[in-house]
Chain A
Amino acid sequence: MTGLDPLLVVEHLSVEFPTDDGALHAVDDVSFAVMPHETLGIVGESGSGKTVTSMAVLGLLPTRARVSGAVRFRGQDLLGMREKDLEKIRGAKIAMVFQDALTALNPAYTVGDQIAEAVTVHNQIGRDALATRVRELLTLVGIPNPSERAEQFPHEYSGGMRQRAMIAMSIANDPDLLIADEPTTALDVTIQAQVLEVFGRIQERTESAIIIITHDLGVVAGVADRVMVMYSGQQVELASVDDLFYNTRHPYTAGLLASLPRLDRRADKADRLHRITGQPPSLVFRPSGCSFHPRCPEARIGGLCTEVVPELREVAQGHLSACHFAQDIFGVERVS
């Protein structure tokens, strides 16, 4: 990272939801920054707090959620901001791409009208200019025959085209930051590749920063500059994409990487993929110490792991890990 000011700074963000059994810690003390033009990947399994983190940034959480910490966008505090002012930022400066484009598109409008709507929420422009802009956006995301396709309804689009239409809506106002929440999860691999390519093209054209949330390490490896790994609402590792893959410093990340099927590695004796044993912990009753210790192959019983919550600390240049033994375990060993 150069001397540039970060676009988005998240500091000690925590989100709790009150439940009958006590507070559910969906996000627990997460801090990260997004630089201009950068792509940050957020990886984690279901329920690890990826989506809640991104919703908190845009202030889209339900009102019962208790949010603490700080979210600053270009120095402006987003958490304390009035709803009216937030509306001016949402969609214009920070835009969001949703996971399931079929449900995230309004079935009552044509795709063209919806993209036009995304534009007119923030800009008053004439009808002709608007129509041109809609075609331009559809062309940019690679939808053929934009004039005709704009007249069609979401249910007449294929899955990949819907996702592209969603992306077209999100970039309608040239946002500085695009948050894509599992944008390729509902798509098959070919379409997935095409959609990811669209993100790359957009970033070239509009120079926006992208936060891409996914549970697919392959996606992250392909598009992200830096990656944050989340587990049980906490961040466990944050590193550049190469460091994360080749110089892993957290047993959870290592477990995730090891569980990927790989062509270049011989299957082990039992001919099975590696798996992380056990289940993710409850977000209401978290294990003591490191929340990953019950499943961690490296956990030292009766020691630090079960007693002390590990701090996220810098274990190498620009490489943060929340493991007590980040140095010991992974200093030598390479996962590859």
Chain B
Amino acid sequence: MIPEEEIRRTDPDLSRRMDTGGIIGTGLGAQAGVELGLEPGGGSGGGSGTGPVARSQWQLFRRRFLRHRMALISLVVLALLIVGCFGATFFAPYSKNGQDLLLGPVSPNGTHWFGTDELGRDQLSRLLYAGQLSIEIGITVALLSTILGTAMGAIAGYFGRTTDQALMRFTDLFLIVPDIAILALALAYFGQANITIILVLAGIFWMGIARVMRGQVLSLKEKEFVEAARAAGASPLRIITRHILPNTIGTIMVDATLAVAAAIITESTLSFLGFGVQPPNTSWGKMLSDAEGYVGTSKAYLLYFPGFAILLTVLAVNFVGDGLRDAFDPQSGRG
């Protein structure tokens, strides 16, 4: 240790060069270090050219994700959906609520690609605008419920005993109360703003991940590396966030993507029951429920497009989640 310190003191330029190989950060620094073949602090290394090629974690992650074909396609689909929906002002051929009562419902054709509803509203335009809300709800609800559930489960699992009992009984409480009843009440009480819908949905989705996380943490905290971290003087918070949670990233990822799908679908249910999105606003779920009466008729296309949009989004999110999980797993082989 001492020799290097001395080099640093006496030769600041060399010291700077020694530091080029950043190990902790993203790949660039470390790559530079490898290419220069710098071996500071002693001469036992063979320099560059020998041994396996070092790749930074970010590079590995990218390689593994890019190899996952479905995830890649899904990412593109998702990106297109998001751009299309949130850029609806530019892309939508008609306005959101523009009605053409004389036209009425028409099947998909050259002017109205996805047809129109009974009020003569262009379905493609409405689908794009509706997607804004559905995607927003899906993603924020998944994020919120995953964060809340992960925190609850991890704390309960790690600390155990009274903390565990208290948090898990609280979770059970949320689990046993009928979702739809809570939702209806909460929305009636707090009003039907989008933010209320998001918070309420997050409030009924976090329990699943909390229980799964608790189980994972219960088993992980008995691992020797957690004990090693304790022996190294790491605090409980540090052990949970830096030593345990990274090992559960696969579970978290899968659960979060499932929550996106579940949130979009539950929002549809709510809208269907009349508690969710209120006209003239719309979401994919709302469009489905509006078109409910057309099941089995020649106007069934009104159901197909929002249904297909939900399906596509949910599938894409799941595939991306799958790819992320594989890419995060250090043992899934090197690219």
Contact surface of A with B, Cβ cutoff 8 Å: 58, 60, 84, 86-92, 95-96, 98, 100, 103-110, 112-113, 116-118, 121-122, 127-132, 134-136, 139-140, 142, 144-153, 155-156, 166, 169-170, 172, 205
Residues of A within 8 A of B69 (CB): none
Contact of B231 among A90, A109, A110, A150 (CB under 8 A): A90
State whether A205 touches B247 (Cβ < 8 A): no
B218 to chain A, nearest CB (A): 14
Q: Point out the residues of chain A lying under 8 angstroms from B18, CB to CB.
A: 132
Q: Which 6 A-B pairs have the closest CB atoms?
A: A91-B233, A128-B19, A91-B232, A90-B233, A148-B54, A108-B246
Could you say which residues of chain B place their CB within 8 Å of the CB of A106?
Answer: 225, 229, 243, 246-247
Complex formed: what's the CA distance from A139 to B234 in Å? 24
- Among B38, B55, B330, the residue within 8 A (CB) of A155 is B330
Q: Shortest distance in angstroms between B54's beta carbon and chain A's nearest beta carbon?
A: 4
The reply to whether B233 and A127 form a contact with Cβ atoms under 8 Å apart is no
| B331-A131 in contact (CB<8A) | no
Beta-carbon contacts under 8 Å, B57-114 to A: 57
Chain A, interface SS category: helix
B25 lies within 8 A of A127 (CB): yes
Additional 19 contacts, C-beta under 8 A, given A100-B224, A147-B45, A151-B30: A58-B231, A60-B231, A87-B233, A90-B232, A105-B225, A105-B228, A107-B225, A117-B234, A128-B22, A131-B29, A132-B41, A135-B23, A136-B41, A145-B39, A145-B50, A146-B41, A148-B34, A151-B56, A153-B331
Cβ distance B296 to chain A, nearest Cβ, rounded Å: 52
List chain A residues, Cβ under 8 A from B225.
103-107
> Shortest CB–CB separation between residue A85 and chain B, in angstroms?
10
**Can you name the residue of chain B whose Cβ is closest to the Cβ of A128?**
B19
Q: By the criterion CB–CB under 8 Å, are B223 and A127 in contact? A: no
Interface size class of B (residues with CB under 8 A): 35 or more
Contact assessment for B57 and A121 in the assembled complex, using a CB-CB cutoff below 8 Å:
no
> Could you pull out 8 A-B pairs where Cβ atoms are within 8 angstroms?
A58-B231, A86-B233, A98-B224, A103-B224, A104-B228, A121-B238, A131-B21, A170-B232
Indicate if the CB atoms of B247 and A108 lie closer than 8 Å.
Answer: yes
**A322 shortest CB reach to chain B, Å:** 30
Indicate whether A131 sits within 8 Å of B54 (C-beta atoms), given known contacts A89-B233, A140-B42, A147-B33: no
CB-based contact A107/B231 at 8 Å: no
- Contact: A110 with B247, CB < 8 Å? no
Determine the distance from Cα of A122 to Cα of B233 in the docked complex, in whole angstroms: 8
- Interchain CA distance A91-B243 in the complex, whole Å: 15
Residue of A88, A90, A108, A172 with highest tally of chain B CB at under 10 A: A108
Are B224's CB and A132's CB within 8 A?
no
B41 pairs with A153, CB closer than 8 A: no
Please state if A117 and B224 are interface contacts (CB–CB under 8 Å). no
| A145 / chain B contacts, CB cutoff of 8 Å | 39, 45-47, 50-51
Could you tell me if A135 and B44 are in contact, using CB atoms closer than 8 angstroms?
Answer: no
B172 CB–A CB distance under 8 Å: no
With a cutoff of 8 Å between Cβ atoms, the chain B residues found around residue A131 in the complex are: 19, 21-24, 29-30, 33
Q: Bound complex: CA of A296 vs CA of B330, how far in Å?
A: 52
**Cβ contacts under 8 Å, B45 to chain A:** 139, 144-147
Tell me, in angstroms, the Cα distance from A308 to B243 when the chains sit together. 49
Measured between beta carbons, the chain A residues less than 8 angstroms from B292 are none
Q: For the complex, is B1 an interface residue (Cβ under 8 Å from A)?
A: yes
User: Contacts of A148 on B, CB cut-off 8 Å?
Assistant: 34, 51-54
For A92, the chain B residues whose CB sits under 8 A away are 233
- A87-B44 in contact given A108-B247, A113-B24, A145-B50 (Cβ < 8 Å): no
List residues of chain B with CB within 8 A of the CB of A139: 39-42, 44-45
A98-B1 contact in complex given A116-B24, A147-B30, A148-B54, C-beta closer than 8 Å: no
Inside 8 A of B224's CB, which chain A residues have their CB? 98, 100, 103-104
Kindly provide the distance from the CB of A134 to the nearest chain B CB, expressed in whole angstroms.
5
CA of A88 to CA of B234 in the docked complex: distance in angstroms? 8
Q: Which residues of A contact B33 (CB under 8 A)?
A: 131, 147
For B38, give its contact among A108, A144, A147, A150 (CB under 8 Å).
A147
By beta carbon, the residue of chain A nearest B57 is A110
The answer for the CA separation of A89 and B227 in the assembled complex, in Å, is 15
Indicate whether A151 sits within 8 Å of B57 (C-beta atoms), given known contacts A90-B231, A131-B24.
yes
Say yes or no: B247 contacts A140, CB within 8 Å. no
Return chain B residues, CB-CB under 8 Å to A121. Answer: 232-234, 238
| A contact residues around B9 at 8 Å (CB) | none
Residue B242 is within 8 A (CB to CB) of chain A in the complex: yes
The smallest beta-carbon distance between A100 and chain B, in angstroms, is 6
- The B272-311 residues at the A interface (CB cut-off 8 A) are none
- The answer to whether A112 and B24 touch (CB under 8 A), given A147-B38, A148-B54, is yes
* B230-A90 in contact (CB<8A): yes
Contacts of A130 in B (CB 8 A): 23-24
Q: Are A95 and B232 in contact (CB under 8 A)?
A: yes
